[in-house]
Amino acid sequence: MRIIADRDRCVGSGQCVLTEPNVFDQDEEDGIVELLVERPDADSEKNARQAVQLCPSQALSISEE
């Protein structure tokens, strides 16, 4: 699976970072999401999927490729 982050939709709430800090980070200046990895490993996949569900602005999505 691959995570897709739409930085134009992100409102910088940081929920994704709290949920899976191995996959998500935030820009230090504007708080917009940054992906540390596009393809989470097995240990991070469950939390990454949860982060996609929890994002308040639907800025995150998953491609099952």
> Looking at 3, 16, 35, 48, which residue binds ligand SF4 (CB under 6 A)?
16
Q: Is 13 a binder of ligand SF4 (CB under 6 A)?
A: yes
Exposure of 62 in the CB half-sphere (CA atoms within 13 A): 16
Q: Is 55 a binder of ligand SF4 (CB under 6 A)?
A: yes
Question: What one-character DSSP code corresponds to residue 38?
Answer: S
Q: Is 15 a binder of ligand SF4 (CB under 6 A)?
A: yes
Going by their DSSP bridges, the two strands 33-35 and 60-63 should be labelled as unpaired
Chain positions contacting ligand SF4, by CB under 6 A: 5, 10-16, 24, 26, 33, 55-57, 59-60
